[in-house]
Structure 1
């Protein structure tokens, strides 16, 4: 019997020759490193745990084809599961449930694993992925806390704890775990990410910008999601400081163009371009390049959070395929499994209609539809920072439709909580001028 890099016993049927590839997946996955995909080189090894890991990598494509590509590997894993340990069997079953679109079962299995095998941090991080996509931050915190007494020596666990605490609004706890992770290993990009969330939420814009600039030198060898997403966070800080040229450079050099065919890189780019426009900056013809990569997404309907951003990108590029995507979202809402039907019907459909209306200048309709969806937007997943895009669009639609008192009611608390944001102060100044309150603005901004 061999053990993986975290000390978990593993069953390998062709000797230990594939153990380095398994460890590349184990360590690479929890460290957000590209080497996790090295496990593909073990595709001919029948060891069930290796086959399940390969299936999981396929599922992270987050596309309509992902389960199809994962299924041969998960079937081989299931066929040999009886020869493996209880921990491996549960991991295999969780990946199989994911491939079968039974995410509630996958979550239950990952929760069991966190209690019974708390050093299986791959299972823990997969559980975080599913819980995050359902807007269940307390669940993320619960399973990470279960592992803490047994895996506190692993910096990546503290990164996971940091993000779970942050999503539960435990900002002080989040910062403590992020800084502990970074003290243990400076190259811990998920901890960098969690701390960036804390600083953005607390209005520490200048500090956050400097912090990410300092640690960015460690972002080597990461998967495309992690490196582009951390640069996306740096771009958010720059945008709050009204540094549009820097944001555009970051978009072109660091956020877009690393893996243009990958879902997460695409939504990073959509979100950043939309935020630039909402801040009043011209993004040139960048929507058109992005839209060419979104055309293949019209039939995905894997996660509503992704579909909504694809919709913004296609609509802002003026592509008629936005209507195809909207029709497919509505069709998905009518046929989705019971455990996810409500989020598609009650949140994604009105949000999608509102976003499409906003992108086409139909601002009254955008306010109406987004106003219906926003109170439940947590259910589509994504982080607070990511979902803020939809709130910004709603605010913009309020202003453009002449609903200025409502806009003021939303904007002023943001200005007070983000005193370093030049973007918000500028937006507030314009709104107060439109309200005939320019003199009062001097005391409010």
Structure 2
């Protein structure tokens, strides 16, 4: 399948299209054909831009220098407005201006509505900065100008489904997500969008059936650990803690590269089990060791939050102090444009307080920022862990009226979402 907006021709064009198709659907290894293309032409701007976006969307600060190098090489040979705009957006993101990068990509979307790469990276920038509205309207604009015969149709449908879900338009989200998987069963992002709908509507049995009905996402997909995490959430709703622990020890963590995105899933799952009082053995220590290389990272409040859950769970005060010190340094420089000042720092301090059994402090920190946690990025389902932590601490600190109110609010919200 050739993506017509790619300027490269011949064998290189085929390799770039193969790489892009894999990237769009989260299946296979998008870097393998890209590496072959770069062997044929190491200075090819399109290949460098594509790899830089792959590196940046991984959410890992250690990959930023390589992305910067790709941008620098691409600048020397990039021709045309479209590639120049991509490089402008990449430079913003590499420099820590996440929201500026998101706006720069939106300019590409407006000028080149069929540039599916720009649509995808804009979609993920919106996810990282917690801008659900823009995440939806990006794909809403594009889908109006797309047709099923154009390459990338399944990816546009999957992105649209996730944007709809994050904006609580659940029926439409489920319809478009299922449509995307019907078009391309390997599209793990579309599979995941429907899983979000079923999670938010409290339909765990439907969720298990949906995830088990399609084997394509379960292997040969960079999103596989996250989709196993979704399956575990459905089992958690049914109280099947043994199955959750088996999934954690298996596909959520076993053999998974210790990078921030899969580590998010591991931290989140163990913290949820912690809140339920599940014995976890040495799992916290193993996870803290995986997060340890990121203790001094200054890149994302969402990463910090998940790293701190592991460090607190393992009782690793040394790593906790390093992470909090890194945050303080970043704040002093005015960095962390992805939610640290708005909510991230409070959430991180609340995790530390929870580890110290200072539950009144947890409540003091989390109550004022409940409406701001989206600024950390991530999905509604991921950030729900903040609410679960607040509810746990309200109950443990003896604030019964607050705890009852939070639980009633949660029940009412689930009833509304189930009917939406």
**Once the 2 structures are TM-superposed, how far is the Cα of residue 157 of structure 1 from its aligned partner?**
0.6
User: Which residue does 2:71 correspond to in 1?
Assistant: 74
1:60–1:66: 8 Å Cα contact kept in structure 2?
no
Which consecutive unaligned segments of at least 5 residues does structure 1 have? 420-445
Structure 2: distance between partners of 1:5 and 1:93 = 25
1:334–1:345: 8 Å Cα contact kept in structure 2?
no
User: Which residue does 1:336 correspond to in 2?
Assistant: 334
Structure 2: distance between partners of 1:30 and 1:311 = 31
Structure 2: distance between partners of 1:67 and 1:108 = 19
Correspondences of 1:405-416 after superposition (within 5 Å): 405-415=401-411
User: Which residue does 1:356 correspond to in 2?
Assistant: 352
Structure 1: distance between partners of 2:117 and 2:6 = 14
Structure 2: distance between partners of 1:63 and 1:181 = 28
Structure 2: distance between partners of 1:344 and 1:119 = 34
Deviations 1:99-149 (A, max 9, x none): 222333322232122222222111111001111111111101111112113
User: Which residue does 2:201 correspond to in 1?
Assistant: 202
Structure 1: distance between partners of 2:28 and 2:290 = 22
User: Does 1:63 pair with 2:57?
Assistant: no
Deviations 1:296-349 (A, max 9, x none): 111212111111110111111011211211121122122124x828x3224122
Structure 2: distance between partners of 1:147 and 1:198 = 22
User: Which residue does 2:418 correspond to in 1?
Assistant: none
User: Which residue does 1:380 correspond to in 2?
Assistant: 376
Correspondences of 1:46-445 after superposition (within 5 Å): 46-81=43-78, 84-153=79-148, 154-223=153-222, 226-320=223-317, 321-337=319-335, 340=337, 343-415=339-411, 418=414
After superposing the two structures, state which structure 1 stretch, 154-163 or 177-186, moved more: 177-186
Give the number of equivalent residue pairs.
Answer: 407
Deviations 1:72-111 (A, max 9, x none): 2110101112xx2322222232223222223333222321
**Once the 2 structures are TM-superposed, how far is the Cα of residue 174 of structure 1 from its aligned partner?**
0.8
1:52–1:77: 8 Å Cα contact kept in structure 2?
yes
Structure 2: distance between partners of 1:345 and 1:103 = 14
Structure 2: distance between partners of 1:221 and 1:404 = 47
Structure 2: distance between partners of 1:407 and 1:278 = 14
SS at match of 1:242: coil
1:141–1:164: 8 Å Cα contact kept in structure 2?
yes
Structure 2: distance between partners of 1:136 and 1:17 = 38
Deviations 1:409-430 (A, max 9, x none): 11123345558xxxxxxxxxxx
**Once the 2 structures are TM-superposed, how far is the Cα of residue 178 of structure 1 from its aligned partner?**
0.9
Does the C-alpha gap of structure 1 residues 414 and 102 become closer, same or farther in structure 2, counting only changes over 3 Å?
Answer: closer
SS at match of 2:51: helix
Which consecutive unaligned segments of at least 5 residues does structure 2 have? 416-420
Structure 2: distance between partners of 1:294 and 1:330 = 19
Instruction: Give the superposed CA RMSD.
Output: 1.9
2:49–2:70: 8 Å Cα contact kept in structure 1?
yes
1:64–1:302: 8 Å Cα contact kept in structure 2?
yes
> Rg bigger for which structure?
1
Structure 2: distance between partners of 1:287 and 1:200 = 25
Structure 1: distance between partners of 2:210 and 2:273 = 22
**Once the 2 structures are TM-superposed, how far is the Cα of residue 214 of structure 1 from its aligned partner?**
1.2
User: Which residue does 1:22 correspond to in 2?
Assistant: 16
**Once the 2 structures are TM-superposed, how far is the Cα of residue 155 of structure 1 from its aligned partner?**
1.1
2:96–2:299: 8 Å Cα contact kept in structure 1?
no
1:49–1:77: 8 Å Cα contact kept in structure 2?
yes
Structure 1: distance between partners of 2:184 and 2:11 = 28
